[in-house]
Amino acid sequence: MADCLFCAIVAGDIPATKVYEDEHVVAFNDLNPQAPTHVLVVPREHFVDLADLGRDPAAAGGFVAGIRGFAAQAGLTDFRTVFNTGAGVGQSVFHVHAHVLAGRSFDWPPG
């Protein structure tokens, strides 16, 4: 999609430190990491947010498989996934992405 930061990263038009790729997803380090591991996993195809992605169960399944693939490759058994859906809860890039965080302790409930 034109003017989408994460579509541009998927296409290689904007640089990012990619740490995992498969047929469904691209994963890259967050520019402003909040944990020792802070990776953004994005579907190759453009969806605005989790609610939009959920309209396409096949794409949603591939996306979840991609999150699993990254975690397995990274050797992560314990990790937190965060989806911000909507500007009101902090979504700032409107191409759905899982924040995958690991390597420190995490509070519950989240802030």
Question: Interface residues with ligand 5GP (CB under 6 A)?
Answer: 5, 16, 28-32, 40, 84, 90-93
Only one of the segments 29-37, 43-51, 54-62, 63-71 lies at the binding site for Zn ion (rule: CB under 5 A); that segment is 43-51
Check if 97 is active-site.
yes
The secondary element (H helix, E strand) that includes residue 39 is: strand 37-43
Which option in Zn ion, ligand 5GP, none does residue 31 bind, with CB closer than 5 to 8 A by kind? ligand 5GP
| C-alpha to C-alpha distance for 98 and 111, rounded to whole angstroms | 17
Which option in ligand 5GP, Zn ion, none does residue 67 bind, with CB closer than 5 to 8 A by kind? none
**C-alpha to C-alpha distances, 82 to 14, 29, 41, 50, nearest whole angstrom:** 23, 14, 11, 11
Residues in Cβ contact with 15 at an 8 Å cutoff, skipping those fewer than 6 apart: 9
Among 38, 44, 95, 97, binds Zn ion (CB under 5 A): 95
Q: Which residues are catalytic?
A: 97
